[in-house]
Each structure stands twice: as C-alpha cells, then as structure tokens.
Structure 1
C-alpha cells in the first residue's frame, strides 16, 4: 500500500516558502518525535540547504515518544552541521520558553533591534506548529485543529523587538518514496483521511507494536496472548470492546480506529515507530517504483 497526499495548496505553499527563505536567517523545523525521519520533509530541507540557513529541529510530542529512541535521534541530528535538535512538548511552557535563546545561539550575527532575527517555522501537517506558534506568541495567532493541513497561508509576526517569525502551512512532498513512511505518517495523523484506509494503516501499526511494544498492548487491551499480527489484534480489540455491527459481525473499522486513536493520543504509552537502525536499513534499499496509476493519481491530487 503506497500512500500519497499532496493537495494543490501545498504546491503553492512550497513556491511561497522558497521566496520567503531568501529573506530568512534561520529555520525552525517541527517534526513528530514518534517518527523523526518520516515526518521530515525532504523538500523543506532542500530549500534550507540551498540558502545555507541554520536549523533548529524540534522533536515535538516527546512526552508520548519512546525516550531512549528519542535520545538516539537527537544524537544523530546533532551530529549534522548547522543544526541543533532538541526534544520538546509544545504544550509545556518551559519547553517553549527555551526556543528564542536557542535561535539566537544559532544566529549570533542577528537578534538586535537594528537587525532583528528573521525566523521561518516549517514542518509537515499536524506536528504541532500552530500550537507552538500560539505558545511562542502567548496568544492565539494560528488555528489549531485535529485534522492535517489547517494552516493554508503564511503569516509573519513579532516574537519581541529582536525577533520575528513567519508561520508556514504544513507541507508534504509530491511522492513519498517508501511505503513504510506513508504508513507511519498516516498512523500518526499527518495525512488527510481521504488518502488511506484506516484498517490497512491500523494493521501496519498493529504489526509494529506487537513486535516492539507488546507489553503496552497487553496493558491496554488485555489477553493478547496468541495475537501474532495486526489483523488479529484488530479482531481482538473488536471482541474485547464488543464492537459489532448490525447482524453481529465484528466492527473491524471501529476497532481499527480505536487502535489508531489510542496510539495518536498517547493512551497506549510512549511509542516511537522508527529507530535510527531501521531507517538506515530502509534507506539502504532502493524504493519500489510507484504503480503507474498511483503516479497519475498523485499528479491529479497536486492539481486539486
């Protein structure tokens, strides 16, 4: 299953971001700490590197991510030039309060009344950019919603007399090369629901959780002994919660949404869906080419 989602407004947002990057001193990139690789947009990184701008990489939602794996990713990102990576929860004021000083350290030549620091905040949909903007400005300046792609246009605001920030819409990229990345993005609710089937994504999620976090599943759903794959896990949840349709058949769609919601909300516990070693292994293998019809569909989505 290859998931692709690139609505037309994202293509326009990319062009506008390229223009704004020219007049920007640094970039704040927000990613989901549960999928630190999959939630990084290579298109945004290309724009940043082209202009040679430093980056503050924020691994948000760290409070519901696996702390040991988060540390591995922080070490990896902090070994890269012109980048500072930190783990935060943008719902915690103390975490957000650190950000202005971190930005100033990356750009010591800016940040005065005469030369205010110009920042762009970027990231894919639904990773917490709008929540972070509101916390930084200490007022509601960006719409926050549970669905991806709430923000659709740029806005520039002053953090203080020495710093200004440009908020940008969440952007994915035209073709997600690796099927695993698309599934992780969908599981983490950063892709519009019209682009995938919940049961298929929940099956992938269940497979991964059974192999990496079986004890958390056992705590949440009880009696999973003998459950060996994602399909069986969804069936188990349906039986355990008595999810049935008219006629008595198991309501597997409702059970799939329960698993996805429990992961997304953190109700399952602290989970990360990719380790550095897993991503390194994946990237060492060339991605499978997309079927011709998916390429055509993707082109249509980009033109919407």
Structure 2
C-alpha cells in the first residue's frame, strides 16, 4: 500500500515555512523517538540549508532507551546539529530546549532569537510549545494536523518561537517509512488501511520484539506468518465474526493501538544502519521509476508522431 496524505493546508504551510526560514536564527525539529528517520521531513532538510538545527526526540518514554542514545549520537555527527530526547512528563528538560537553541547561535547573544519549530503531524510539537510558553498556546490531541496556521509565541529568555503546522511531504517514496508514520498515528485514519498496517506491525514485532507479543497477547508461540499472528491476536481478543472467522481489521486495529499506547512496551522501529540501507534503496527506486516514466513518455510521443504522420499521409493520398 502506498500511503500519501498531503491536504491543502500542508501545501500552504510548506510555502510559509519556505518564506519564513531565512528570517529565523535556528530550527527546532521535533521528531518521534520511535521513528527518528521516518519522522524527519526531507523538505525541511532542503529548505533550511546549513541553518543550525536542534532535533528534539519527543515521546522518548515510548522508545527504546539505547536506540534513542544511538540516534542522538548519529544526528550530532552533522555540523550544526544538536539532539535532545524529551518526554511530556519531564518538564525541566523541555524547558532547557530554548537555552540549548540559544547556545547554537552564539553570535546572537544578548539579542532576541527567533526559532522556527517544525514537526510532522501528531509528533508532540504542540505539547512542547505549551510547556515552553507556560500556558496553552497550541491545541493538542491524538489526531494529526490540529495546528492549521503559523503563529509567533514568546517563550521568555529573549526567545520567540515561530510555530508551524505539522507538515508531511507530497510523496513518501520510502514505503516502509509510510507504514511507520501510519503506525504511530501521523497519517489521518481515513488515509490508511488498518489491516495492511497491522501486517507490517506484526512482521516487525515478531522479528524484533517477539517476547512482547507473547506476553501481551498470551501467545504460547509466535506464528510463522503475519496473517497467522494477526489471527492469533484476534482469537485472544474475541475478534470473531460469522463462521468463527477472525475479523482481520478489528484484530489489526488492536495491535496498532496497543503499539501506539505503549501497551507493548518501549520500542524503536528503525536504526541508523537501517536508514542508510533504505535511503540507498529509495534513491534507486525513485531513479528506476523516473526512468520508466521517461520511457513511457517517449513511447507516447512516438505513438502520437506516428499517428500524425499516418493522418498526413492519408490526407495526401486523398
């Protein structure tokens, strides 16, 4: 399944972000600690250039601790990038973010610092903003795309946040990234297929966290296929329909919602090494699709020219 969700307000937000970036001193990019790579917006990397960037690994209380530390070290290999893990319960660490951002632009010491805060939908950006501001400025919730327009928020210590709506990108070329985004709730429900995402989740958890599945769903052993695993979960949770058959959609929803809520413990869905492999694969896939598209265009043009020549010849003969 190809997962794409780019409503009109996201296109508008992208244009506003592009116009506003040259005017800010530092970018604060909020990522989901469970999918640090897939929750990075590739459009932002292109737009911000070499502007300092603080990558905030939000919801780190739902992610694997060791992998979060690995991702922090990975991100900080890039010049001008800092990384900080936060949770919604650790307010003191959230409050430190503005001081970390300020230290990233020492030439602005003693002056007001403008920091643009960005992030994909449902990553926890609004919660962070409200803590930094000390009051409810941004709407929060478990539904993606609550923030619809840009706003400026003064958070004290001479720091102003430029808040932007959660923005995805028009084409999620990496199929696995699309699944991960849907799995953590960054894609609107009407744009996803729970069964398909459930199969993806089943495959990953069976390969990397089988003991979590066994314990949570009281499974004596992990079935050999993703379908069999979803069926086993469905039988344990009473998702039975006519003929005692498992309702795959209901069982898949249970697995996905358990993952989102932390019912299956802390987990991380990707590693830096995995990211590098997928980036290389995605570049090759995109190039192959572009080549195939060009070949199809050439065939259509040739067919059109042949038809035109045939018409001219027919007119000349008449």
What TM-score results when the alignment is normalised by the length of structure 1? 0.91
Distance 1:276 1:19, change over 3 A: same
Across the aligned residues of Structure 1 and Structure 2, the Cα RMSD in angstroms comes to: 1.7
Rounded to whole Å, the distance in 2 between the matches of 1:141 and 1:95 is: 19
Other structure's SS at 1:35 match: coil
CA shift for structure 1 position 44 = 1.1
Contact 2:52 2:104 in 1 (8 A): yes
Is the CA contact 1:210–1:229 (under 8 Å) kept in the aligned structure 2?
Answer: no
Kindly indicate whether structure 1 or structure 2 has the higher relative contact order, using CA contacts under 8 Å at least 6 residues apart: 1
Residue 253 of structure 1, CA deviation: 1.4
Q: How far does residue 239 in structure 1 lie from its aligned partner after superposition?
A: 0.4
**CA offsets 1:129-182 (integer angstroms, 9 cap, x no match):** 011111111111101121111111011011115111111000011111111110
Aligned to 1:53: 51
Q: From 201, 217, 223, give the equivalent of 2:219.
A: 223
Give the structure 2 partner of residue 76 of structure 1.
74
Could you tell me how far apart the structure 1 residues matched to 2:128 and 2:210 are?
32
5+ residue gaps, structure 2: 294-318
Post-superposition CA distance 1:240-278 (Å, at most 9, x none): 011223564322211111111111111101111111111
Q: Secondary structure at the match of 2:154?
A: strand
Q: Is 1:106 the equivalent of 2:104?
A: yes
Please give the alpha-carbon distance, in whole angstroms, between the structure 1 residues aligned to 2:208 and 2:32.
Answer: 19
State the aligned residue count.
288
What pairs up with 1:1-304 in 2 under 5 angstroms? 1-49=1-49, 52-112=50-110, 115-160=111-156, 162-245=158-241, 248-285=244-281, 286-287=284-285, 289=289
Deviation at 1:111, TM superposition (A): 4.8
Q: 1:151 and 1:89 mapped to 2: Cα distance?
A: 20
Normalising by structure 2, report the TM-score.
0.87
User: Hey, what's the Cα distance between the residues in 2 that align with 1:212 and 1:120?
Assistant: 36
Aligned equivalents of 1:158, 1:279: Cα separation in 2:
36
Q: Is the 8 A contact 2:37 2:275 kept in 1?
A: yes
Shift of 1:110: 2.0
In 1, are the aligned partners of 2:33 and 2:85 still within 8 Å (CA)?
yes
